Structure 1
C-alpha cells in the first residue's frame, strides 16, 4: 500500500508540474522517474528486478527488437518508441535542411495562383497529409512560418490559416501510427501496425477531415475573400528559391518516400519500427554527408530534439511505477465496474475522458498511462482490445485540439503566430476550435459504435 500511495503522489506531482510549465518537461519526468526507481522500487518494494525490468535495456540487444512479427511492449521504457522517434527526427531535420517543406508550400501556393481561400484548403490538406508521416510539431512549424511569409507578401491575416493548419495537423496525425506520439506509444506497446491504424483510425479521420474542411471554410471564407480583394497584385517567392542543394533535396525526398514504404509494409517485412527508425536516420545522415559535408551532418545531429526523447524516457519509468504497484489495475477494475462491463459505455468513457483530459494536459503522458489500463480492461471484460485502443487514440489525438495548450503543435503554431506579430488569444482559439473538436469527437464516437459495437 505504501508503494502504491508513493507512486501515485510522484505521478500526480509530475503531472501538476507539467501543467504549471515552470520547468523543462524533461527535467520533471526524469526526476519523477528517478524517484520511482529509488523510492518506490528500491525503498518500498526492495525489488531490483522491478528496477531492471523498468529500464528494459536487455530488450535492445534481442533479435525481436529489430525483426519480428510482434512489438508488444512490456512495462518500463519502450525503447522501440525512443529509437523510432529519434530516427524520424533526423530524417525531418534532413528534409528541412534540403528545403523540402518550404518548396512544397510555395509550389502549392503557385498552383492555386495565390488565391487565399483555395490556399487555405491546400494548406489544410497538406497539414493533414504530412502529419500522417511526420511529427505534427515539425509540420506546423514549417507551415506556419511559410504562411506568415505569404501573408506579408499577399497582405492577408494569417490567423485563420494557422488555426486550420494546427487543427488539421493533429487530425492527420491520428490517422497513422507514426503521425502523433500517442499513436506511436499505442502501436509499439500493443503490437499494432501502420496498416492497422490506417484501416481503423484512418477511416474516422478521413470522415472528420471532410467535415472540418467545410467547417473552417465556412468560418473564414468571408474574411479571407475580403483580404484577397484588398490585397491587389502580389509578387511571391518562386518554389525553386527554396532549393539550395538539388542533390540533397532529391535524395532526402527519396529517403522520406522509403520511410513511408517501410512503415506501410513493416507487417509484411517484419522490420520493427525501431529498425525502420535506425535505417531512415542512417540514410538521412549519409545523404546529407555526401551532398553537404560533415559539418551539415553535425548540424542535423545537434538539431535533434533530445529533450523530447529524455521526456519520454522519464515518462515511461513514471508510468511503470503505477503499473508495478498495481495502481493501474485498480483503475481498470473501477472503469469496468462503473460501466457494468458494457462495451459501449467503456468506449464512451475512454473516448471522452481522453478527449477532455487531452484538451488541458499533454496527451503523451496520458496515453502512456492509459495503455496498461486498456490492456487490463480488455482482459477483465473480454472486450476486443483494438476497439479500446482506437478509442484511446482518437480521444487523445483529437481532444488536444480544443485549447492552445492541448497539444505541442498548438503551442508551436500560436507561438510562431505571436512572433510574427499575430498573437492568438485563448478566446479566439477556442471560439473556432472547441466547436470543431466536439464535432470530430462526436463523429468518432458514432464511427466506433457503427463499426465495432
Structure 2
C-alpha cells in the first residue's frame, strides 16, 4: 500500500505542476497521468492482486452507465468513486446546446438588446452587463458567457469611445460569482452536485443566496472603483448609427428553437429533484434535441464541442481515484481535522480559504474533485453536516478563481479577448481590481456560513 500511495502522490503532484506550467495541453496531461495511475498505482502498487482489479473497475466506473439508476435517480445506489460519467454526459450536453445557441446569434443579440435598452449609456451598460454575466452564468458555462460578452463589450467600446478593460474584469468576476449559485453554473458545482447527490434547487437555495449577497456588494464595489472612468464616456456619440440587435440573429427559426431548448433545459434542471431524471439524462436529452433541430448544421455543432475539456475530466477523475483508493485523501482529512482542533468555525474557514487561495493559482476543477472525498471523511469525524462543507467548498473554489488571470477558464478567455482588441491586461492591473473583490466576497461567505449553518 505504501508504494501505491507514493506513486499516487507523485502522479498527482506532477499532473498539477504540468497543468500550471501550461507547457502541454491539459487534457493530455490528465490522460497520461490517468494511465500512469492505472499502471503504477493500481497494477504495480497493489501488486497485481484482486485489490488491483477492484480498484481499477471502481475507478473506471463504466458499469454505472448501464444501470437504471444512472439515468433515473430515484432509489439509485451509484458509486461515488472514480470517473463521474454523469458529470461528463451533462457537460457534453450543455456544450452542444450552447453551440446551437451561439450559431443562431443568441448571445450577441441578447447583449445588443440590453445595451439598447439602457440607451447605450456607459454606466448603465456597465451595470447591466455585470448583471447579465452573473445571470447567464447560472445556466451556461462561464467561458461561453465571457467569450461573447467580452467581444460585445469591445465592440461597444469602439462605438462609445471607452476603455473596455475595467468592464471586462467586472464581467469576469460576476460570471464566476453567478456560476457559484447553481449546480450547472461552474464545473466544480457540477462535480460536487453529481458526486454528492445535490440538486439544482439545493445549490440555488444555499450557494445561490450567498452569491446574491456577494453580487450586491460586488456591484457596489465595481461601481465605486470604475465610476470616474466611465462617467463621461460616450456622451457625444450619435446612438442612431448603432446596429440593430436583430442584425445579430443569423437564423430566425433556429433562434426561436434555441430559446425553447434553453427554456426546456432550465425547467428540467429546476425540477429534476421531482422528476428524478439524472443530470446525465438531462444533458443527453438536450443534446439530442439540439442536434435533431439543427438540420444541416449538425456536423458543425458536433465539431465545435470542446472534446478537450471532456477528455480532461476523464483523466482527472482517474488520478483523483488513485488518491482515494490508496487512502491519501483520508490522511488529508485527518490533517485538516487536527489543524482545526475540532472547532467547526475554524474547520469551515480552512475549507473556504484554502479552496479560495488554491483556486486562485491552480485549476479549481481538479481541486474540487480532490476535496470531495476529503469533506466526506471530515463530516464523519467532525460531525459537521456534509452539506455545510459542500457549500463552503463550492464558494471557495468558484470565487477564489476570480483573484488572478489564471484562476479560472473564464478569466483566461476574457483577458485574451481584451488583448486581441488592443487592450492587454497585466497581472498587476487584473489583481489590483479583482483581489479586493475576491477577499470581500470570501469574507462575506465565511461569515454567512458561520451564522446560518453552525
Q: Deviations over 1:418-449 (max 9, x none)?
A: 01111011111011100000000000001101
- Secondary structure of 1:276's counterpart equals helix
**In the alignment, is the contact (CA less than 8 A) between 2:103 and 2:250 conserved in 1?**
no
**In the alignment, is the contact (CA less than 8 A) between 2:8 and 2:326 conserved in 1?**
yes
**Aligned residue in 2 for 1:185:** 191
Q: Deviations over 1:84-127 (max 9, x none)?
A: 00000000000000111000000001100000000011100100
User: Structure 2 CA distance, aligned partners of 1:59 and 1:7?
Assistant: 24
User: Structure 1 CA distance, aligned partners of 2:53 and 2:26?
Assistant: 27
What RMSD, in angstroms, separates the aligned Cα atoms of the two structures?
1.1
**In the alignment, is the contact (CA less than 8 A) between 1:71 and 1:272 conserved in 2?**
no
**Aligned residue in 2 for 1:343:** 344
After superposition, the Cα gap between the structure-2 partners of 1:233 and 1:111, relative to the gap in structure 1 and judged at 3 Å, is: closer
**Aligned residue in 1 for 2:72:** 67
User: Structure 1 CA distance, aligned partners of 2:138 and 2:79?
Assistant: 23
**1:233 Cα shift?**
5.1
Work out whether 1:57 is the aligned partner of 2:62.
yes
**In the alignment, is the contact (CA less than 8 A) between 2:58 and 2:79 conserved in 1?**
no
**1:42 Cα shift?**
0.6
**In the alignment, is the contact (CA less than 8 A) between 2:249 and 2:255 conserved in 1?**
yes
Match of 1:92 among 75, 98, 107: 98
User: Structure 2 CA distance, aligned partners of 1:71 and 1:411?
Assistant: 38
**In the alignment, is the contact (CA less than 8 A) between 1:71 and 1:190 conserved in 2?**
no
- Pairing 1:239-258 to 2, within 5 Å after superposition: 239-258=245-264
- Secondary structure of 1:192's counterpart equals coil
- Secondary structure of 2:235's counterpart equals helix
User: Structure 2 CA distance, aligned partners of 1:200 and 1:74?
Assistant: 22
Work out whether 1:142 is the aligned partner of 2:143.
no
User: Structure 2 CA distance, aligned partners of 1:336 and 1:168?
Assistant: 33
- Pairing 1:315-394 to 2, within 5 Å after superposition: 315-394=316-395
**1:48 Cα shift?**
1.3
**Aligned residue in 1 for 2:163:** 157
Q: Deviations over 1:199-230 (max 9, x none)?
A: 00000000000000011011111111232236
After superposition, the Cα gap between the structure-2 partners of 1:304 and 1:114, relative to the gap in structure 1 and judged at 3 Å, is: same
**Aligned residue in 1 for 2:451:** 450
Structure 1, unmatched stretches of 5+, are none
- Secondary structure of 1:392's counterpart equals helix
**In the alignment, is the contact (CA less than 8 A) between 1:417 and 1:424 conserved in 2?**
yes
Runs of 4+ displaced beyond 4 Å: 70-73, 230-234
**In the alignment, is the contact (CA less than 8 A) between 1:81 and 1:274 conserved in 2?**
yes
**Aligned residue in 2 for 1:399:** 400
- Secondary structure of 1:302's counterpart equals helix
**In the alignment, is the contact (CA less than 8 A) between 2:168 and 2:414 conserved in 1?**
yes
User: Structure 2 CA distance, aligned partners of 1:311 and 1:244?
Assistant: 32
User: Structure 1 CA distance, aligned partners of 2:78 and 2:13?
Assistant: 27
- Secondary structure of 2:183's counterpart equals coil
Q: Deviations over 1:118-175 (max 9, x none)?
A: 0011100100000000000000001001111111122111111111110000000000
User: Structure 2 CA distance, aligned partners of 1:250 and 1:261?
Assistant: 17
Work out whether 1:16 is the aligned partner of 2:17.
yes
After superposition, the Cα gap between the structure-2 partners of 1:73 and 1:170, relative to the gap in structure 1 and judged at 3 Å, is: farther
Work out whether 1:200 is the aligned partner of 2:200.
no
**Aligned residue in 2 for 1:304:** 305
More deviation in 35-44 or 70-79? Answer: 70-79
Structure 2, unmatched stretches of 5+, are none
- Secondary structure of 1:442's counterpart equals helix
Give the count of matched residue pairs. 448
User: Structure 2 CA distance, aligned partners of 1:235 and 1:229?
Assistant: 14
User: Structure 2 CA distance, aligned partners of 1:431 and 1:166?
Assistant: 14
**1:72 Cα shift?**
6.1
User: Structure 1 CA distance, aligned partners of 2:383 and 2:60?
Assistant: 30
**In the alignment, is the contact (CA less than 8 A) between 2:65 and 2:85 conserved in 1?**
yes
- Secondary structure of 2:380's counterpart equals helix
User: Structure 1 CA distance, aligned partners of 2:299 and 2:162?
Assistant: 38
Work out whether 1:213 is the aligned partner of 2:219.
yes
User: Structure 2 CA distance, aligned partners of 1:322 and 1:158?
Assistant: 43
Match of 2:242 among 218, 236, 240: 236
User: Structure 2 CA distance, aligned partners of 1:415 and 1:396?
Assistant: 22
**1:75 Cα shift?**
1.1
User: Structure 2 CA distance, aligned partners of 1:15 and 1:231?
Assistant: 49
More deviation in 325-334 or 232-241? Answer: 232-241
